[in-house]
Amino acid sequence: MIGGIDAGNFRLKMSCADSTGNPNLITNRLGEPFIRSVVYFAEDGSTIVGTEAENAALANPERAVFDWKQSMGTDTVLYQDGKNKICKAKDILAHLFREAKKTIEAKTGEVCEEVIVTDPANYNDLQKKETLDAASEAGLKVLLLLHEPTAAALGNEFHKRKNSRALVFDLGGGTFDVSIVQNKGNLCEVIATNGEQKLGGKDFNNCLSELIQEQFEAKHNYRPNPKDHPVFCQDLAQRVEQL
Amino acid sequence: MFERQKEPADRTVASDDKEYEHLAQRAALLLTNSFKVLIDDSIKKVLDHIFIDFAPLRNQLNQILNKQQEILDQILAKLAQLETQSTKNQTSQQQIVYSLQHIEKQLDQLIAESKLLENASRENHLLSQEHYQDHIVQPMVHSLFPIIDFINDAEDRSGEPATDRKIDTNELTGAIFTQLQQFLAVYQIEPIRHRPKAKFNPSLMRPVKTVTTENRQLDNRIAKSLRVGFWWRKERVLRFETVALYKFKDSKSETVN
CATH code, domain carrying B205: 2.30.22.10
SS3 A9: coil
Residue-level pLDDT, tens digit, chain B, 257 residues: 445 555 555 556 667 788 888 888 888 888 888 888 888 888 888 888 887 888 888 888 899 999 999 999 999 999 999 999 999 999 888 888 888 888 888 888 888 888 888 888 887 777 787 777 777 777 777 777 777 777 777 777 666 655 555 556 777 788 788 888 888 888 889 999 999 999 999 999 999 999 999 999 999 999 999 999 999 999 899 999 999 999 987 555 554 44
The domain ranges of chain A are 2-160, 202-242
CB contact, 8 Å: B202 with chain A?
A: yes
A226 contacts on B by Cβ (under 8 Å): 208
What single-letter amino acid sits at A3?
G
The domain of B20 spans 16-53
Measured between alpha carbons, how far is A130 from A150 in angstroms, rounded to an integer?
20
CB contact, 8 Å: B210 with chain A?
A: yes
How many domains are there within chain B? Answer: 2
Measured between alpha carbons, how far is A89 from A117 in angstroms, rounded to an integer?
16
Measured between alpha carbons, how far is A198 from B98 in angstroms, rounded to an integer?
67
Q: What is the pLDDT of residue A169?
A: 92
B203 contacts on A by Cβ (under 8 Å): 52, 55
> pLDDT tens-digit profile of B183-226?
888 888 999 999 999 999 999 999 999 999 999 999 999 999 99
Residue B224 lies in a domain: yes
Q: Looking at the partner chain, which of B200, B235, B242 has a beta carbon nearest the beta carbon of A59?
A: B200
Residue B68 lies in a domain: no
Q: Do A59 and B207 touch (CB under 8 A)?
A: yes
How far away is chain A from the Cα of B174, in angstroms, using its nearest Cα?
21
Query: Cα torsion for A58, A63, A67, A68, to the nearest 10°?
Result: -150
Q: Do B208 and A234 touch (CB under 8 A)?
A: yes
User: Strand B205-213 to strand B189-192: parallel, antiparallel, or no bridges (unpaired)?
Assistant: unpaired
User: What ipTM describes this predicted complex?
Assistant: 0.86
CB contact, 8 Å: B248 with chain A?
A: no
How far away is chain A from the Cα of B236, in angstroms, using its nearest Cα?
6
Which helix (H) or strand (E) segment holds residue A74: the answer is none
* pTM exceeds 0.80: no
Instruction: Give which of A75, A3, A80 is closest to A35, Cα–Cα.
Output: A3
Q: What is the pLDDT of residue B256?
A: 45
Instruction: Give which of A34, A182, A177, A157 is closest to A96, Cα–Cα.
Output: A34
Alpha carbon of B86 to those of B72, B98, B100, B101, B131: distances in Å?
A: 20, 18, 20, 22, 64
Give the DSSP letter string of A152-170. Answer: HHHHTTGGGSSS-EEEEEE
Q: Do B207 and A53 touch (CB under 8 A)?
A: no
Alpha carbon of A92 to those of A8, A37, A40, A98, B173: distances in Å?
A: 12, 9, 10, 10, 47
* Burial of B167 per CB tally in 10 Å (0-12, 13-18, 19+): middle
Q: State in words which class domain A2-160 has.
A: alpha beta
Q: Do A233 and B237 touch (CB under 8 A)?
A: no
Strand partners, B246: B211
Q: Do B227 and A40 touch (CB under 8 A)?
A: no
Q: What is the pLDDT of residue A14?
A: 96
> pLDDT tens-digit profile of A185-236?
777 889 999 988 888 898 999 999 999 999 999 999 999 888 888 888 888 9
User: Which one of A29, A99, A234 makes the best mutation probe of the B interface by having the most chain B beta carbons within 10 Å?
Assistant: A234
> pLDDT tens-digit profile of A51-81?
999 999 999 999 999 989 989 999 999 999 8
How many beta-carbon pairs under 8 angstroms link A with B? 47
Alpha carbon of A168 to those of A24, A111, A157, A190, B245: distances in Å?
A: 21, 33, 13, 10, 44
- The answer for residues whose C-beta is within 8 angstroms of residue A41's C-beta and 6 or more apart is A47, A63, A64, A65, A79, A81, A87
Would you place residue A92 in the very low, low, confident or very high pLDDT band (cuts 50, 70, 90)? very high
Measured between alpha carbons, how far is B225 from B241 in angstroms, rounded to an integer?
7
- Phi, psi at A161, each rounded to 5°: -90, 140
CB contact, 8 Å: A108 with chain B?
A: no
Q: What is the SS3 assignment for chain B?
A: CCCCCCCCCCCCHHHHHHHHHHHHHHHHHHHHHHHHHHHHHHHHHHHHHHHHHCHHHHHHHHHHHHHHHHHHHHHHHHHHHHHHHHHHHHHHHHHHHHHHHHHHHHHHHHHHHHHHHHHHHHHHHHHHHHHHHHHHHHHHHHHHHHHHHHHHHHHHHHCCCHHHCCCCHHHHHHHHHHHHHHHHHHCCEEEECCCCCCECCCCCEEEEEEEEECCHHHCCEEEEEEECEEEECCCEEEECEEEEEEEECCCCCECCC
119-148 of B, contacting A, C-beta below 8 A: none
